[in-house]
Amino acid sequence: MFLIEGEHLIEEAYKAGLLKTIFFVNNNPYFDIENYQVSEQVISKLSSVKNNQGIVGICSMKANFDLSNKILLLDHIQDPGNMGTLIRSAIAFGFNTIVLDECVDVYNPKVVRSTQGALFKIHLIEKNIVDFIKEYNDYYYLATNLSSSNNLSDLKIQKDKIGLILGNEGQGVRDKLIDLANIDFKIEMKSMESLNVSIAGSIIMHKLN
Amino acid sequence: MFLIEGEHLIEEAYKAGLLKTIFFVNNNPYFDIENYQVSEQVISKLSSVKNNQGIVGICSMKANFDLSNKILLLDHIQDPGNMGTLIRSAIAFGFNTIVLDECVDVYNPKVVRSTQGALFKIHLIEKNIVDFIKEYNDYYYLATNLSSSNNLSDLKIQKDKIGLILGNEGQGVRDKLIDLANIDFKIEMKSMESLNVSIAGSIIMHKLN
């Protein structure tokens, strides 16, 4: 279970059937679930933001379901904003299962806020990526690698089941995962810039969509 | 002129020939430009972050040069993080000129930090987008529009000169700009999510690259 706040997020959790309890100061739109009217002091204590909206909910994590045909595998992603953005893009482009290997806590309030509700639609699995690849060897795994000779634009992937591996903000995907993957590639760029992992990941998921 | 800080940013500004003056507490790597050793109190006053790196520079804005063949036109972008990311992706994908119409100040310290040095390579023009399109009518203009029937993946743009119009975080591209553009389009998604403008813009610039 984890805390959520903000009207939009709470509405999304409610629609997904994951909202279990509500604490509110003035208005409670959800009388069909357990609810408590509380003081502003209580809400301030529960809230993680300066200007809260006077409503906080307790939400259950999404129950497990089948693996999607497209899977995102995240190797040591540490920044809450990147995690939130990646979850949002994953849902947008059909990567409905995410494997998390030593990543930032996805129930961290910053991550929850930045997913904009996508957290309630995604299937999250905490697992070592090496073990995952060995167990699910019917997927075709792609790993990003800045020194790869393959370019994203040239990839022609005709596979039903694919797993995209993205790596840590500073180090990228670990070498042993690049070796385990079926192919590695980079995003070709005009200039020597590197892209933030959430931007790179979104570009790739759109392309593989 | 504007202030920059952090060793990486200052080095990028120096390499671009835009660093004019340095204020430092302990170490100054750039003795060939105007420099002043100052106290920590002075640096703290100049810095916009809590834990500064003891070095702040004054930087000049990039002088104007020719319009690039790919141009990014930003309509009322307000978030500093989005602006920084868009500048970085623009440089990565060859959109070397950006037209700014009523956007957040690009010399805002948050924008400067999040561009990671891309700010020193980009050609920025503050101008009304309607006026710009009328003046530069040899470009082919594309505008994002969530209710468009054209999908990004289906676009086949065979033009040398293109201008991509992205809009405000809440409102999107204004209708009059969509009408003025040669084509409008949306990014197709599996789910009803909307994408952050910096994510959407990066996906589109990669595709048009």
Q: What confidence tens digit (pLDDT) does each residue in A108-149 have?
A: 888 988 887 888 889 999 999 999 999 999 999 999 999 999
Query: Average pLDDT, stretch B40-50?
Result: 90
Confidence at B119, pLDDT banded by 50, 70, 90: confident
Among B118, B190, B195, select the one facing A94 at the smallest CB separation. B190
pLDDT of B193 reads 66
B121 neighbourhood in chain A, CB within 8 Å? 191
In whole numbers, what is the pLDDT of chain B averaged over residues? 92
Say which residues have a Cβ less than 8 Å from residue A124's Cβ, sequence separation at least 6. Answer: A61, A62, A97, A98, A100, A106
Tokens 């593989």 correspond to A208
The angle subtended at Cα B28 by Cα B24 and Cα B29, nearest 5°, is: 145
Say which residues have a Cβ less than 8 Å from residue B171's Cβ, sequence separation at least 6. Answer: B76
User: What would the two tokens of residue A166 be?
Assistant: 């993205």
B207 pLDDT exceeds 70? Answer: yes
Which phi and psi (to 5°) does residue B158 adopt? -110, 60
- Give pLDDT tens digits for B135-169: 999 999 999 999 999 999 999 988 999 999 999 99
Answer whether A171's CB lies under 8 Å from A143's CB.
no
B65 pLDDT exceeds 90? Answer: no
pLDDT of B28 reads 82
Answer whether B107's CB lies under 8 Å from B83's CB.
no
Confidence at A192, pLDDT banded by 50, 70, 90: low
Alpha helices in chain A (DSSP H): 7-15, 40-46, 80-92, 109-115, 129-135, 175-180, 197-208
Q: 3-state DSSP helix/strand/coil percent for chain A, to nearest 5?
A: 30, 25, 45
- Give pLDDT tens digits for A32-77: 999 999 999 999 999 988 888 899 999 988 776 789 999 999 999 9
Residue to mutate among A193, A207, A208, with most B CBs inside 10 A, is A193
Answer whether A120's CB lies under 8 Å from A13's CB.
yes
In whole numbers, what is the pLDDT of chain A averaged over residues? 92
Residues carrying CATH 3.40.1280.10, chain A: 70-208
In angstroms, the CA B207 to CA B152 distance is 8
Shortest distance between the Cα of A92 and any Cα of chain B, in A, equals 5
Answer whether A181's CB lies under 8 Å from B182's CB.
no
Higher-confidence residue: A204 or A114? A204
Which residues of A make CB contacts under 8 Å with B? Answer: 85, 88-89, 91-94, 116, 118, 121, 152-153, 187-191, 193, 195-196, 198-199, 202-203, 206-207, 209
| Total beta-carbon pairs less than 8 A apart between chain A and chain B | 74
CATH number of A2-59: 3.30.1330.30
pLDDT of B64 reads 66
B63 pLDDT exceeds 80? Answer: no
Say which residues have a Cβ less than 8 Å from residue A137's Cβ, sequence separation at least 6. Answer: none
Q: What is the pTM of this model?
A: 0.85
pLDDT of A162 reads 97
User: What would the two tokens of residue B62 be?
Assistant: 């990039």
CATH number of B70-208: 3.40.1280.10
Percent of chain B predicted with pLDDT > 70: 99
